[in-house]
């Protein structure tokens, strides 16, 4: 019997048809532990050597040299390592590493991470810019904001301007070259064996309403010619293709998301990527826009 809530099964079947069984297997099966090398502090070669010295078997992702998949170690084994304590590695799902790669920040660019805690993507954005982008990171929840501050400090990302604020309340006069909107969502792509699978239509409606407001705000805050990356860890079209429709309605233009062919995909609107849940990847959605 599927571990997925009945209502979610119905919706996933409606979206993915014959591929539902692939989605179900990906969600209900085991998920491998993956980590990202924090190049603000160390190199992939040093991390590979430290993992090997600790007897942890790791495979480097061919699509991103800073990403490792651990063949059979648990997260606790990583947390026990000195390099984890020093913030040299960050436990992060492969799929969650994709939106910052798509946004591709560069030195000197003015970036906004609208909904940032716990901060895996914020620190990755800074690392991808060689530590040289100007990043504002917002989080409205106090507990999650503390976690963001802790992670920024540990990862050597103190130059990020972290703000405990509702991104919807940001001054419209602010303008950014690049914006990441890793939106709050139902999380239907990240369910896995052992996780508590909760889903309701009311929760979905609350998430989509907030996503629409955040997209509208992102549009106001984006410089002309700038780039917005919208992502969710959901597989539901209301939160993904529906959000794209809203962005287009607001005058944003869709740009193709370009990712290596080895990233597993489900069918999605042309130009966007819906990552198929597998042992290595969580279910995720990514769309890229300009103004």
Nearest residue to ligand SAM by CB is 115
Question: Is the peptide bond preceding residue 118 cis, with omega within 30 degrees of 0?
Answer: yes
Please say which residue, 56 or 114, places its beta carbon nearer to ligand SAM.
114
Please say which residue, 60 or 140, places its beta carbon nearer to ligand SAM.
140
Please say which residue, 50 or 135, places its beta carbon nearer to ligand SAM.
135
Please say which residue, 47 or 97, places its beta carbon nearer to ligand SAM.
97
* 6-to-197, 207, 278 alpha-carbon distances in Å: 10, 19, 21
Nearest distance from C-beta of residue 97 to ligand SAM, angstroms: 9
Find the catalytic residue in 138, 185, 233, 276: 233
Nearest distance from C-beta of residue 243 to ligand SAM, angstroms: 13
Nearest distance from C-beta of residue 90 to ligand SAM, angstroms: 9
Contacts with ligand SAM, residue ranges (CB under 6 A)? 96, 115-121, 138-141, 144, 166-168, 182, 184, 210
Judge whether 138 counts as a catalytic residue: no
Nearest distance from C-beta of residue 232 to ligand SAM, angstroms: 7
Please say which residue, 56 or 170, places its beta carbon nearer to ligand SAM.
170
Nearest distance from C-beta of residue 87 to ligand SAM, angstroms: 14
Which of the residues are catalytic? 233
């Amino acid at each position: 019997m599927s571990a997925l809530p009945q209502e979610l099964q119905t919706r996933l079947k409606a979206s993915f048809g014959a591929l539902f069984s692939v989605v179900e297997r990906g969600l209900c099966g085991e998920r491998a532990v993956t980590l990202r090398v924090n190049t603000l502090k160390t190199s992939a070669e040093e991390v590979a050597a430290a993992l090997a010295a600790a007897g942890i078997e790791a495979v480097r992702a061919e699509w991103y040299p800073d990403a490792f998949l651990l063949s059979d170690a648990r997260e606790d084994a990583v947390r026990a390592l000195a390099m984890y304590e020093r913030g040299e590695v960050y436990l992060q799902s492969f799929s969650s590493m994709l939106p910052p790669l798509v946004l591709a920040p560069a030195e000197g660019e003015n970036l906004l991470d609208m909904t940032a805690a716990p901060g895996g993507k914020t620190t990755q954005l800074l690392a991808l810019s060689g530590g040289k982008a100007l990043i504002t990171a917002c989080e409205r929840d106090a507990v999650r904001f503390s976690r963001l501050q802790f992670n920024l400090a540990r990862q050597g990302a103190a130059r990020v301007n972290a703000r405990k604020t509702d991104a919807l309340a940001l001054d419209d006069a602010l303008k950014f070259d690049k914006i990441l909107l890793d939106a709050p969502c139902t999380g239907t792509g990240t369910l896995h064996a052992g996780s508590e699978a909760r889903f309701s239509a009311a929760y979905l409606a609350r998430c989509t309403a907030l996503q629409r407001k955040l997209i509208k705000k992102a549009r106001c805050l984006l410089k002309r010619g700038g780039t917005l990356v919208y992502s969710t860890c959901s597989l539901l079209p209301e939160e993904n293709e529906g959000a794209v429709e809203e962005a287009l309605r607001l005058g944003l233009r869709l740009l193709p998301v370009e990712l290596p062919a080895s990233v597993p995909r489900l069918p999605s609107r042309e130009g966007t990527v819906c990552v198929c849940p597998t042992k290595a990847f969580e279910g995720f959605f990514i769309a890229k826009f300009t103004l």
